[in-house]
Amino acid sequence: MGLKISVIGGASSYTPELFANLIDLHEHLEVEQVTLMDLNKEKLGVIAKVGEKLLAGSQMGMRIAATQNLEQAVDGADFIILQIRVGGLEARVRDETLPMEFGMVGNETTGAGGFVCALRTVPVALEIAHEIERLSPNAWVLNLSNPAGIVTEALLKHTRLHTIGFCNIPINTTYELANVLGVPPEKVRLDSFGLNHLSWARGAYVDDEEMLQPLIAGTSGRNSVLYQHGLVEDMLDPQWLRTLNMIPSWYVRYYYFIEQVLEQDRRSGPTKGNKDMEAEERLRSLYLTEGYGDTAQRILASKGGAQYYLPVLQVIRSIVHDSGEVVVVDVRNDGALPDLPAQTCVEVPARINRAGIEPLPVGSMPLRVRGLVQAVKAYEELTVEAATTGSHEAALAALVAHPLVGSVPRAMLFWDRVLQNERPYLSRFFDAHQVRPSSP
Protein backbone atom coordinates (compact mmCIF):
# COMPACT_ATOMS: atom_id res chain seq x y z
CA MET A 1 0.00 0.00 0.00
CA GLY A 2 1.24 3.47 -0.88
CA LEU A 3 1.13 6.67 1.09
CA LYS A 4 -1.97 8.75 1.62
CA ILE A 5 -1.29 12.47 1.55
CA SER A 6 -3.97 15.06 2.29
CA VAL A 7 -3.75 18.75 1.44
CA ILE A 8 -5.93 21.08 3.50
CA GLY A 9 -6.29 24.19 1.37
CA GLY A 10 -5.86 22.02 -1.69
CA ALA A 11 -7.38 24.56 -4.09
CA SER A 12 -4.27 26.73 -3.78
CA SER A 13 -2.73 27.71 -7.10
CA TYR A 14 0.54 26.22 -5.82
CA THR A 15 -0.84 22.70 -5.47
CA PRO A 16 -0.03 21.62 -9.07
CA GLU A 17 3.62 22.07 -8.14
CA LEU A 18 3.13 19.33 -5.55
CA PHE A 19 1.94 16.93 -8.24
CA ALA A 20 4.87 17.84 -10.50
CA ASN A 21 7.32 17.22 -7.65
CA LEU A 22 5.67 13.90 -6.77
CA ILE A 23 6.03 12.78 -10.37
CA ASP A 24 9.74 13.69 -10.29
CA LEU A 25 10.17 11.71 -7.06
CA HIS A 26 7.98 8.72 -7.96
CA GLU A 27 10.92 6.30 -7.72
CA HIS A 28 11.52 7.37 -4.10
CA LEU A 29 7.94 7.79 -2.85
CA GLU A 30 5.09 5.42 -3.54
CA VAL A 31 1.94 7.49 -3.17
CA GLU A 32 -1.43 5.79 -3.41
CA GLN A 33 -3.66 8.85 -3.11
CA VAL A 34 -3.54 12.61 -2.68
CA THR A 35 -6.75 14.05 -1.23
CA LEU A 36 -7.40 17.75 -1.80
CA MET A 37 -9.72 19.43 0.69
CA ASP A 38 -10.96 22.99 0.28
CA LEU A 39 -14.14 24.96 0.90
CA ASN A 40 -14.00 26.53 -2.58
CA LYS A 41 -15.64 23.85 -4.72
CA GLU A 42 -15.03 25.55 -8.07
CA LYS A 43 -11.30 26.13 -7.52
CA LEU A 44 -10.95 22.66 -6.02
CA GLY A 45 -12.30 21.10 -9.20
CA VAL A 46 -9.93 23.12 -11.37
CA ILE A 47 -6.84 22.11 -9.37
CA ALA A 48 -7.89 18.44 -9.27
CA LYS A 49 -8.20 18.41 -13.07
CA VAL A 50 -4.78 20.04 -13.44
CA GLY A 51 -3.32 17.29 -11.25
CA GLU A 52 -5.06 14.56 -13.22
CA LYS A 53 -3.72 16.02 -16.46
CA LEU A 54 -0.18 15.97 -15.06
CA LEU A 55 -0.57 12.38 -13.84
CA ALA A 56 -1.96 11.23 -17.19
CA GLY A 57 1.44 11.81 -18.75
CA SER A 58 3.34 9.98 -16.00
CA GLN A 59 3.91 6.39 -14.99
CA MET A 60 2.32 6.86 -11.57
CA GLY A 61 -0.77 5.01 -10.43
CA MET A 62 -1.61 7.68 -7.87
CA ARG A 63 -5.22 8.76 -7.44
CA ILE A 64 -6.48 12.27 -6.77
CA ALA A 65 -9.56 12.81 -4.62
CA ALA A 66 -11.28 16.14 -3.99
CA THR A 67 -13.59 16.90 -1.09
CA GLN A 68 -15.03 19.74 0.94
CA ASN A 69 -15.34 17.47 3.96
CA LEU A 70 -12.51 17.75 6.49
CA GLU A 71 -13.21 14.39 8.17
CA GLN A 72 -13.08 12.60 4.84
CA ALA A 73 -9.81 14.34 3.97
CA VAL A 74 -7.86 13.54 7.12
CA ASP A 75 -9.21 10.10 8.06
CA GLY A 76 -6.49 7.54 7.39
CA ALA A 77 -3.95 10.05 6.08
CA ASP A 78 -0.24 9.46 6.65
CA PHE A 79 0.82 13.05 5.94
CA ILE A 80 -1.35 16.15 6.04
CA ILE A 81 -0.15 19.34 4.37
CA LEU A 82 -1.78 22.39 5.97
CA GLN A 83 -1.82 25.39 3.62
CA ILE A 84 -4.76 27.55 4.60
CA ARG A 85 -5.26 31.29 4.11
CA VAL A 86 -8.07 32.39 6.42
CA GLY A 87 -9.89 35.33 4.87
CA GLY A 88 -8.27 34.88 1.47
CA LEU A 89 -6.19 37.43 -0.39
CA GLU A 90 -8.63 40.17 0.61
CA ALA A 91 -7.50 39.71 4.21
CA ARG A 92 -3.88 39.73 3.10
CA VAL A 93 -4.40 43.15 1.51
CA ARG A 94 -5.81 44.42 4.81
CA ASP A 95 -2.77 43.05 6.63
CA GLU A 96 -0.52 44.94 4.23
CA THR A 97 -2.37 48.26 4.13
CA LEU A 98 -3.66 48.85 7.68
CA PRO A 99 -0.21 48.93 9.33
CA MET A 100 0.93 51.55 6.79
CA GLU A 101 -1.88 53.83 7.93
CA PHE A 102 -0.17 53.83 11.34
CA GLY A 103 3.35 54.36 9.98
CA MET A 104 4.36 50.70 10.17
CA VAL A 105 5.53 48.36 7.44
CA GLY A 106 2.79 46.10 6.14
CA ASN A 107 3.32 42.39 5.58
CA GLU A 108 1.22 39.26 6.07
CA THR A 109 3.90 37.35 7.98
CA THR A 110 5.72 39.83 10.17
CA GLY A 111 5.04 42.99 12.12
CA ALA A 112 1.52 44.21 12.81
CA GLY A 113 0.14 42.58 9.64
CA GLY A 114 1.59 39.21 10.51
CA PHE A 115 0.05 39.55 13.97
CA VAL A 116 -3.45 39.94 12.51
CA CYS A 117 -2.88 37.08 10.08
CA ALA A 118 -1.86 34.88 13.02
CA LEU A 119 -4.97 35.76 15.04
CA ARG A 120 -7.18 34.70 12.13
CA THR A 121 -5.21 31.56 11.29
CA VAL A 122 -4.22 29.94 14.59
CA PRO A 123 -7.77 29.12 15.81
CA VAL A 124 -8.72 27.56 12.46
CA ALA A 125 -5.46 25.60 12.30
CA LEU A 126 -6.12 24.25 15.79
CA GLU A 127 -9.67 23.24 14.91
CA ILE A 128 -8.31 21.26 11.97
CA ALA A 129 -5.56 19.79 14.13
CA HIS A 130 -8.02 18.55 16.74
CA GLU A 131 -9.93 16.71 14.01
CA ILE A 132 -6.65 15.15 12.90
CA GLU A 133 -5.95 14.11 16.50
CA ARG A 134 -9.35 12.41 16.62
CA LEU A 135 -9.20 10.64 13.27
CA SER A 136 -5.50 10.20 12.40
CA PRO A 137 -3.47 10.80 15.57
CA ASN A 138 -0.31 9.28 14.08
CA ALA A 139 -0.34 11.45 10.97
CA TRP A 140 2.40 14.01 10.37
CA VAL A 141 1.18 17.60 9.99
CA LEU A 142 3.33 19.60 7.58
CA ASN A 143 2.46 23.27 7.97
CA LEU A 144 2.83 25.82 5.18
CA SER A 145 0.22 28.25 6.54
CA ASN A 146 1.46 31.76 7.28
CA PRO A 147 2.78 33.04 9.57
CA ALA A 148 4.42 29.62 9.52
CA GLY A 149 6.48 29.92 12.70
CA ILE A 150 3.59 31.13 14.85
CA VAL A 151 1.08 28.64 13.46
CA THR A 152 3.57 25.79 13.91
CA GLU A 153 4.30 26.90 17.49
CA ALA A 154 0.58 26.90 18.29
CA LEU A 155 0.24 23.36 16.92
CA LEU A 156 3.30 22.18 18.86
CA LYS A 157 2.05 23.69 22.12
CA HIS A 158 -1.64 22.81 21.87
CA THR A 159 -1.74 19.40 20.17
CA ARG A 160 0.03 16.07 20.46
CA LEU A 161 0.59 15.77 16.72
CA HIS A 162 3.88 15.31 14.92
CA THR A 163 4.21 18.81 13.46
CA ILE A 164 6.80 20.47 11.25
CA GLY A 165 6.67 23.92 9.65
CA PHE A 166 8.26 24.98 6.39
CA CYS A 167 9.61 28.03 4.61
CA ASN A 168 10.97 28.07 1.07
CA ILE A 169 13.76 30.55 1.86
CA PRO A 170 16.25 27.88 3.09
CA ILE A 171 15.66 25.64 0.07
CA ASN A 172 15.90 28.57 -2.36
CA THR A 173 19.10 29.75 -0.65
CA THR A 174 20.52 26.24 -0.89
CA TYR A 175 19.71 25.97 -4.60
CA GLU A 176 21.17 29.38 -5.43
CA LEU A 177 24.34 28.72 -3.43
CA ALA A 178 24.70 25.43 -5.30
CA ASN A 179 24.43 27.42 -8.53
CA VAL A 180 27.14 29.82 -7.37
CA LEU A 181 29.40 26.99 -6.23
CA GLY A 182 28.78 24.87 -9.32
CA VAL A 183 27.59 21.78 -7.44
CA PRO A 184 24.28 19.88 -7.27
CA PRO A 185 21.89 21.25 -4.59
CA GLU A 186 21.92 17.96 -2.69
CA LYS A 187 25.66 18.47 -2.10
CA VAL A 188 25.08 21.70 -0.13
CA ARG A 189 24.37 21.56 3.61
CA LEU A 190 23.06 24.92 4.79
CA ASP A 191 23.96 26.19 8.27
CA SER A 192 21.00 28.46 9.02
CA PHE A 193 19.34 29.57 12.26
CA GLY A 194 16.67 31.86 13.64
CA LEU A 195 12.90 32.05 13.34
CA ASN A 196 10.58 31.79 10.38
CA HIS A 197 11.19 34.92 8.26
CA LEU A 198 13.88 36.07 10.67
CA SER A 199 16.88 33.88 9.91
CA TRP A 200 20.50 34.04 8.83
CA ALA A 201 22.68 31.66 6.82
CA ARG A 202 26.16 31.57 8.30
CA GLY A 203 27.63 28.59 6.48
CA ALA A 204 27.30 26.32 3.47
CA TYR A 205 29.16 23.01 3.49
CA VAL A 206 30.13 20.95 0.48
CA ASP A 207 31.81 17.66 1.40
CA ASP A 208 32.36 19.10 4.91
CA GLU A 209 34.21 22.14 3.53
CA GLU A 210 32.71 25.51 4.47
CA MET A 211 32.19 27.57 1.29
CA LEU A 212 30.10 30.60 2.31
CA GLN A 213 32.53 32.57 4.47
CA PRO A 214 35.05 33.15 1.63
CA LEU A 215 32.19 34.46 -0.54
CA ILE A 216 31.12 36.93 2.18
CA ALA A 217 34.70 38.04 2.83
CA GLY A 218 35.18 38.66 -0.89
CA THR A 219 32.08 40.81 -1.26
CA SER A 220 33.28 44.36 -1.91
CA GLY A 221 30.29 45.78 -3.79
CA ARG A 222 26.84 45.07 -5.14
CA ASN A 223 28.34 43.67 -8.31
CA SER A 224 29.75 40.76 -6.29
CA VAL A 225 28.45 37.25 -6.80
CA LEU A 226 26.16 37.08 -3.74
CA TYR A 227 24.29 40.19 -4.88
CA GLN A 228 24.20 39.19 -8.53
CA HIS A 229 22.57 35.87 -7.65
CA GLY A 230 19.98 37.49 -5.38
CA LEU A 231 21.34 35.87 -2.23
CA VAL A 232 21.76 39.26 -0.55
CA GLU A 233 19.06 41.95 -0.36
CA ASP A 234 20.01 44.94 -2.56
CA MET A 235 19.42 47.36 0.32
CA LEU A 236 22.08 45.64 2.42
CA ASP A 237 25.39 47.49 2.34
CA PRO A 238 28.38 45.18 1.67
CA GLN A 239 30.07 46.54 4.78
CA TRP A 240 27.10 45.51 6.93
CA LEU A 241 27.12 42.09 5.25
CA ARG A 242 30.75 41.62 6.22
CA THR A 243 29.98 42.95 9.72
CA LEU A 244 27.24 40.37 10.15
CA ASN A 245 29.38 37.71 8.51
CA MET A 246 26.10 35.99 7.59
CA ILE A 247 23.44 36.28 4.88
CA PRO A 248 20.14 37.58 6.28
CA SER A 249 17.00 36.07 4.78
CA TRP A 250 14.97 38.41 2.60
CA TYR A 251 12.42 39.27 5.29
CA VAL A 252 15.09 40.72 7.58
CA ARG A 253 14.87 43.81 5.34
CA TYR A 254 11.76 44.77 7.34
CA TYR A 255 13.92 45.16 10.46
CA TYR A 256 17.15 46.54 8.97
CA PHE A 257 15.53 49.09 6.62
CA ILE A 258 12.24 50.07 8.22
CA GLU A 259 11.94 53.58 6.78
CA GLN A 260 13.16 52.61 3.30
CA VAL A 261 10.82 49.64 3.00
CA LEU A 262 7.84 51.65 4.24
CA GLU A 263 8.52 54.43 1.75
CA GLN A 264 9.07 51.92 -1.05
CA ASP A 265 5.80 50.14 -0.28
CA ARG A 266 3.86 53.40 -0.12
CA ARG A 267 5.19 54.48 -3.51
CA SER A 268 4.67 51.13 -5.21
CA GLY A 269 0.86 51.44 -5.27
CA PRO A 270 -0.76 47.97 -5.31
CA THR A 271 0.34 45.73 -2.47
CA LYS A 272 1.71 42.22 -2.87
CA GLY A 273 -1.77 40.91 -2.10
CA ASN A 274 -3.27 43.01 -4.90
CA LYS A 275 -0.66 41.71 -7.32
CA ASP A 276 -1.31 38.15 -6.21
CA MET A 277 -5.00 38.60 -6.99
CA GLU A 278 -4.07 39.49 -10.55
CA ALA A 279 -1.69 36.53 -10.71
CA GLU A 280 -4.45 34.23 -9.48
CA GLU A 281 -6.68 35.30 -12.37
CA ARG A 282 -3.92 34.57 -14.88
CA LEU A 283 -3.24 31.19 -13.28
CA ARG A 284 -6.91 30.25 -13.30
CA SER A 285 -7.08 30.96 -17.02
CA LEU A 286 -3.92 28.94 -17.64
CA TYR A 287 -5.10 26.00 -15.56
CA LEU A 288 -8.39 25.90 -17.45
CA THR A 289 -6.64 25.88 -20.84
CA GLU A 290 -2.99 24.81 -20.81
CA GLY A 291 -2.68 23.29 -17.36
CA TYR A 292 0.51 23.50 -15.31
CA GLY A 293 3.48 24.41 -17.50
CA ASP A 294 6.38 26.83 -17.87
CA THR A 295 4.20 29.95 -17.86
CA ALA A 296 2.38 28.90 -14.69
CA GLN A 297 5.71 28.09 -13.04
CA ARG A 298 7.02 31.57 -13.81
CA ILE A 299 3.92 33.21 -12.36
CA LEU A 300 4.14 31.09 -9.20
CA ALA A 301 7.83 31.94 -8.84
CA SER A 302 7.03 35.65 -9.17
CA LYS A 303 4.53 35.27 -6.31
CA GLY A 304 7.39 34.11 -4.08
CA GLY A 305 6.22 30.64 -3.08
CA ALA A 306 8.06 28.46 -5.56
CA GLN A 307 9.74 25.24 -4.41
CA TYR A 308 7.72 25.07 -1.19
CA TYR A 309 7.03 21.38 -1.66
CA LEU A 310 10.63 20.31 -2.17
CA PRO A 311 11.54 20.42 1.56
CA VAL A 312 8.12 18.96 2.41
CA LEU A 313 8.75 15.95 0.19
CA GLN A 314 12.32 15.70 1.42
CA VAL A 315 10.93 15.35 4.96
CA ILE A 316 8.31 12.80 3.87
CA ARG A 317 10.96 10.76 2.07
CA SER A 318 13.25 10.82 5.10
CA ILE A 319 10.45 9.68 7.41
CA VAL A 320 9.29 6.91 5.06
CA HIS A 321 12.79 5.56 4.48
CA ASP A 322 14.08 6.44 7.97
CA SER A 323 17.10 7.99 6.28
CA GLY A 324 17.94 10.77 8.75
CA GLU A 325 18.19 13.57 6.21
CA VAL A 326 18.96 17.05 7.56
CA VAL A 327 16.45 19.72 6.50
CA VAL A 328 16.03 23.32 7.68
CA VAL A 329 12.52 23.38 9.17
CA ASP A 330 10.36 25.06 11.81
CA VAL A 331 10.48 22.75 14.80
CA ARG A 332 10.34 22.72 18.60
CA ASN A 333 13.57 24.25 19.89
CA ASP A 334 14.48 21.73 22.61
CA GLY A 335 17.82 23.45 23.21
CA ALA A 336 19.00 23.83 19.62
CA LEU A 337 19.09 27.60 20.23
CA PRO A 338 19.88 27.87 23.97
CA ASP A 339 19.13 31.62 23.92
CA LEU A 340 15.41 30.85 23.38
CA PRO A 341 12.87 28.87 25.45
CA ALA A 342 12.97 25.13 24.80
CA GLN A 343 9.23 24.80 24.11
CA THR A 344 9.12 27.47 21.39
CA CYS A 345 9.39 27.05 17.62
CA VAL A 346 12.63 27.85 15.82
CA GLU A 347 13.90 27.47 12.26
CA VAL A 348 17.05 25.34 12.28
CA PRO A 349 18.54 22.29 10.59
CA ALA A 350 16.90 19.14 11.94
CA ARG A 351 17.53 15.45 11.40
CA ILE A 352 14.37 13.74 10.22
CA ASN A 353 13.70 10.11 11.14
CA ARG A 354 10.67 7.88 11.30
CA ALA A 355 10.74 8.09 15.10
CA GLY A 356 10.78 11.88 15.20
CA ILE A 357 12.57 15.14 14.61
CA GLU A 358 15.91 16.04 16.14
CA PRO A 359 16.79 19.75 15.94
CA LEU A 360 20.55 19.98 15.62
CA PRO A 361 22.48 22.09 18.16
CA VAL A 362 23.18 25.54 16.78
CA GLY A 363 24.77 27.12 19.84
CA SER A 364 24.31 30.63 21.16
CA MET A 365 23.29 33.18 18.58
CA PRO A 366 25.78 35.92 17.64
CA LEU A 367 25.28 38.99 19.82
CA ARG A 368 24.66 41.10 16.71
CA VAL A 369 21.33 39.39 16.11
CA ARG A 370 20.46 37.77 19.45
CA GLY A 371 18.43 40.62 20.93
CA LEU A 372 16.32 41.02 17.80
CA VAL A 373 15.47 37.32 17.68
CA GLN A 374 14.63 37.21 21.38
CA ALA A 375 12.31 40.21 21.06
CA VAL A 376 10.47 38.70 18.10
CA LYS A 377 10.21 35.34 19.84
CA ALA A 378 8.58 37.05 22.85
CA TYR A 379 6.10 38.63 20.42
CA GLU A 380 5.38 35.22 18.86
CA GLU A 381 4.76 33.58 22.24
CA LEU A 382 2.39 36.38 23.24
CA THR A 383 0.60 36.14 19.89
CA VAL A 384 -0.02 32.41 20.37
CA GLU A 385 -1.37 33.19 23.85
CA ALA A 386 -3.66 35.88 22.48
CA ALA A 387 -4.91 33.73 19.59
CA THR A 388 -5.73 30.78 21.84
CA THR A 389 -7.24 32.67 24.79
CA GLY A 390 -8.81 35.79 23.31
CA SER A 391 -6.89 37.90 25.80
CA HIS A 392 -6.82 41.60 24.89
CA GLU A 393 -3.94 42.06 27.31
CA ALA A 394 -1.85 39.41 25.54
CA ALA A 395 -2.71 40.92 22.15
CA LEU A 396 -1.56 44.39 23.18
CA ALA A 397 1.54 43.01 24.87
CA ALA A 398 2.38 41.12 21.66
CA LEU A 399 2.08 44.25 19.53
CA VAL A 400 4.18 46.35 21.89
CA ALA A 401 6.84 43.62 22.08
CA HIS A 402 7.31 43.57 18.32
CA PRO A 403 10.24 45.78 17.20
CA LEU A 404 8.19 47.00 14.21
CA VAL A 405 5.43 48.35 16.47
CA GLY A 406 6.97 49.30 19.78
CA SER A 407 4.70 52.20 20.80
CA VAL A 408 1.90 51.62 23.33
CA PRO A 409 -0.43 54.35 21.97
CA ARG A 410 0.08 53.16 18.39
CA ALA A 411 -0.48 49.54 19.39
CA MET A 412 -3.75 50.40 21.15
CA LEU A 413 -5.08 52.45 18.24
CA PHE A 414 -4.10 49.73 15.79
CA TRP A 415 -5.75 47.05 17.94
CA ASP A 416 -9.01 49.01 17.96
CA ARG A 417 -9.02 49.06 14.16
CA VAL A 418 -8.19 45.37 13.97
CA LEU A 419 -11.16 44.53 16.18
CA GLN A 420 -13.40 46.54 13.86
CA ASN A 421 -12.02 45.10 10.61
CA GLU A 422 -11.60 41.46 11.62
CA ARG A 423 -14.53 40.87 13.97
CA PRO A 424 -15.89 37.85 12.00
CA TYR A 425 -12.55 36.10 12.56
CA LEU A 426 -11.86 37.16 16.16
CA SER A 427 -14.85 35.85 18.07
CA ARG A 428 -12.69 34.89 21.06
CA PHE A 429 -12.00 38.55 21.75
CA PHE A 430 -15.71 39.39 21.92
CA ASP A 431 -16.71 36.83 24.56
CA ALA A 432 -18.61 38.41 27.42
CA HIS A 433 -15.90 37.71 29.98
CA GLN A 434 -13.19 39.49 27.97
CA VAL A 435 -12.31 43.03 29.10
CA ARG A 436 -11.26 45.33 26.30
CA PRO A 437 -8.72 48.00 27.34
CA SER A 438 -9.52 51.62 26.48
CA SER A 439 -7.48 53.44 23.85
CA PRO A 440 -5.63 56.59 24.84
Beta strands in 262-399 (DSSP E): 325-332, 345-353, 356-359
The Cα 99–Cα 33 span in angstroms is 42
Catalytic residue of the set 14, 251, 255, 379 = 251
Provide the 8-state DSSP code for 271.
Answer: -
12, 13, 14, 17 alpha-carbon torsion, rounded to 10°: 120
Q: Is 251 a catalytic residue?
A: yes
The Cα 192–Cα 195 span in angstroms is 10
Classify strands 140-143 and 79-82 as parallel, antiparallel or unpaired: parallel
> Burial, 125: exposed, middle or buried (Cβ in 10 Å; 0-12, 13-18, 19+)?
buried
What is the DSSP secondary-structure string of 369-403?
A: HHHHHHHHHHHHHHHHHHHHH--HHHHHHHHHHST
- Which residues contact residue 167 at a Cβ distance below 8 angstroms, ignoring those fewer than 6 apart? 148, 196, 197, 199, 328, 330, 347
Residues 11 and 84 sit within 8 Å (Cβ to Cβ): no
Residues 297 and 133 sit within 8 Å (Cβ to Cβ): no
* E strand or H helix that includes residue 248: strand 247-248
- Amino acid (1-letter code) at residue 344: T
> Which positions are catalytic?
251
